[in-house]
Structure 1
Amino acid sequence: MSVLRSVRFEANSRDAVLRNLDAVEPNWRWTLSAPPAEDCSLRFGRQYLHSSSIVTAEHSVGIGAVARRKAARVSLYFVLAGAMEIADRAARKVLSIPANHVASACESSAKRLAIEARSSWLAFHIPEPTLRRHFEELTGRPYVQEFVLPVTRFCEGDGHGLYQTLRQAEEDLSSASPEERPMLAKAYQQLALAKLFAKTPHNLAEAFGRGTLSDAPRQLLKAEAFMRENLASPITIDDLAGAAGCSPRALQRMFRTYRGDSPIGILCSYRLAAAHGAIRTGRTASITDLALSLQFSNPSRFSVLYRSAYGCSPSSALRLARDEAKMETAENDDTRS
């Protein structure tokens, strides 16, 4: 995604509002609550960070939208005025965000968005691979469940720092020169994600601060410890249940409740995180050998899973890690000479 541009528009008719929204957010099918004859206005702005973006909007008319397909993106919505409602029909859940509150939502197929008339809001859109990668690099632990920020006041307290950072990023990037933008965009993204993990209450806060992922039953924690100690060995659900001291069915239920995935799905996340660490630090010479050593019997399938988790192929990540290592070595040689 380009960091050399921003998007801003002001629309003052029904057709202009819908046309512009379709252009800037094509994964959503947009509707307006106002009749055709009623006046409509919408101010919209987007600043691109390194791989994320900050969106601001203010509108006189009620806006609705339905997601066309699943997108690997997490959005944090800060509602400044009015109110926003996000409905997930598949999960039968409705998230209501009143003014002065923030919450997160993942973009999934058929998810519905409804925003009251005379609302204004700021959104921080982050690709999930970016979120995963930064979480693992900051904590040294695998990202084994989706990020969830519950409805939280942000005008004061922990969420306020993240909001201020996003506002400052928006202001600085809007006045930056083309030469300054890439550096500022990358720095602000790193700062925003650090504040998100360290200062904002969410379901991964304990993992960030104390190395655990929620107050899970001891059987589940035993199973996860067994996973971490045996990443390079074949593991079955019966092996995990034996290590945990419970039945396979009970273990499946615990993982679904506390991790949102199956035990084998979580084991896959641990192995992908181990692979990412080995690639990032240059501790592998062959992607195929790495995949096989972590019990991915099909290297092609491993590449698909890795790309889905981290946003690029393992071979591309390895080339990038090697290039960065060469640059660091060259810089160190220049310093010594």
Structure 2
Amino acid sequence: MTVEHSVGIGAVARRNTARVSIYFVLAGAMGISDRTARTVLSIPANHVASACESSGKRLAIEPHSSWLAFHIPEPTLRRHFEDLTGRPYVQEFVLPPISFREGDGLGLYQTLRQAEEDLSSASSEERPRLAKAYQQLALEKLIAKTPHNLAEAFGRGTLSDAPTPLLKAEAFMRENLANPITIDDLAGAAGCSPRALQRMFRSYRGDSPIGILCSYRLAAAHGAIRAGRTASISDLAMSLQFSNPSRFSVLYKCAYGCSPSSALRFARDEGKIENAQNDES
């Protein structure tokens, strides 16, 4: 987490960093343009918004601006979102510009400011634990207390006001994660043509139907690993239609920040500690 002041900055991202940045503009203004999507995000003073850092995005900051930036690795955001909601993270997180001087954005801003103050005065031994606790609290406030595009998942379990055919296709995915699924199968379940379904998913989910299906299956794998419901990563991959376990491991690591075998070892260690504590009590 950093606080910075500007004399006027312009920069273009050269690579994808797999992180989401939350920008609080205290004075001046900031603009982020995406040449691929042909969109421009403008963040005025006293407002906060998110930007997913990817190749080709241009950042422009007015002279004499002041801002606070909170950077979150996307795997961390994904894990926290899924653990908190029980829903798969199948769409890029977007926090539109909102005021942080009042209302929903204020709590997140106050948390980060308090974190900045406490971390600067903490000892080197205290700092890692304190930083982890503040990260958890900030993520809770970001996901549960701010009006972002995934907020609907808390209530109805849907992600944005998508067309009925798309929602039918997603329901079919969830019911058939362990079965082979083609784009024609999804189109049949949705009641539209494969091309129309492709367009809907690109417009409302930012990915192809098969890409979203992969996200659902990765989320199911993550849940099984966390709950200790698997003894073999290869068997788990095959049961969710990942025919190449090595490819599954690469996709899982990109999504969750660690290999599935490491996640499984960690889950087992956590289980042993919990059982030992229960035996002692």
- The question of a shared fold, defined as TM-score above 0.5 by the shorter chain, is answered with yes
Residues 1:56 and 2:3 are matched in the alignment: yes
What SS does structure 2 have at the residue aligned with 1:214?
coil
Larger CA deviation: 297-306 vs 62-71: 62-71
Give the superposition deviation at 1:191.
0.9
Task: Render the CA deviation track for 1:66-106: whole Å, top value 9, x for unaligned.
Answer: 22211101001000001111122222222111101111111
Matched residue of 1:62: which SS?
strand
Amino acid paired to 1:175? S
Pairs within 5 Å for 1:36-185 = 54-59=1-6, 61-185=7-131
Deviations 1:231-252 (A, max 9, x none): 0000111111111111111111
CA distance in 1, matches of 2:192, 2:27: 50
Instruction: Provide the rounded CA distance (Å) in 1 between the counterparts of 2:118 and 2:59.
Output: 30
In the alignment, which of 200, 207, 212 is matched to residue 254 of structure 1?
200
Kept after mapping to 2: 8 A contact 1:197/1:208: no
**Equivalent residue runs for 1:313-328 within 5 Å:** 313-328=259-274
Q: 1:226 aligns with which of 172, 179, 192?
A: 172
Give the alignment's Cα RMSD to 1 decimal.
Answer: 1.1
The superposition leaves residues 138-167 of structure 1 with CA deviations (integer Å, 9 ceiling, x where unpaired) of 000100010011111111110111111111
Q: Percent identical across equivalent pairs? A: 85
Residue aligning to 2:141:
195
Structure 2 counterpart SS, 1:215: coil
Where do 5+ consecutive residues of structure 1 fail to align? Answer: 1-53
Aligned with 1:268 (options 214, 233, 240): 214
- Aligned partner letter, 2:12: V
Aligned residues: 281
What is the aligned counterpart of 1:301 among 232, 247, 254? 247
**What is the distance in 2 between the residues matched to 1:186 and 1:85?**
30
Please tell me the residue identity of whatever aligns with 1:177: S
The residue type paired with residue 2 of structure 2 is V
Counterparts of 2:99 and 2:232, CA distance in 1: 48
How much has 1:208 moved relative to structure 2? 2.4
In the TM superposition, residue 209 of structure 1 has moved relative to its aligned partner by: 3.4
Please list every run of 5 or more consecutive structure 2 residues that lacks an aligned counterpart in the other structure.
none
Structure number with bigger Rg:
1
Structure 1 contact 84–115 (Cα < 8 Å) conserved: yes
Distance 1:168 1:141 in 2: 30
8 Å contact kept, 1:198–1:209:
no
Kindly provide the amino acid, as one letter, of the partner of residue 148 in structure 2: H
Q: CA separation in 1, counterparts of 2:263 and 2:38?
A: 38
Task: Report the secondary structure of 1:131's partner residue.
Answer: helix
CA deviation after TM superposition for structure 1 residue 265, in Å: 0.7
Verify: 1:290 aligned to 2:236, yes or no: yes
Q: What's the CA shift string for 1:276-335, capped at 9, x where partnerless?
A: 000111110000000000000010110110000000100011011111111111122222
1:207 paired residue among 144, 150, 153: 153
More off after superposition, 96-105 vs 175-184? 175-184
Give me the TM-score of the superposition, normalised by structure 2. Answer: 0.97
**3-state SS in 2 of match to 1:291:** helix
Structure 1 letter corresponding to 2:207 = D
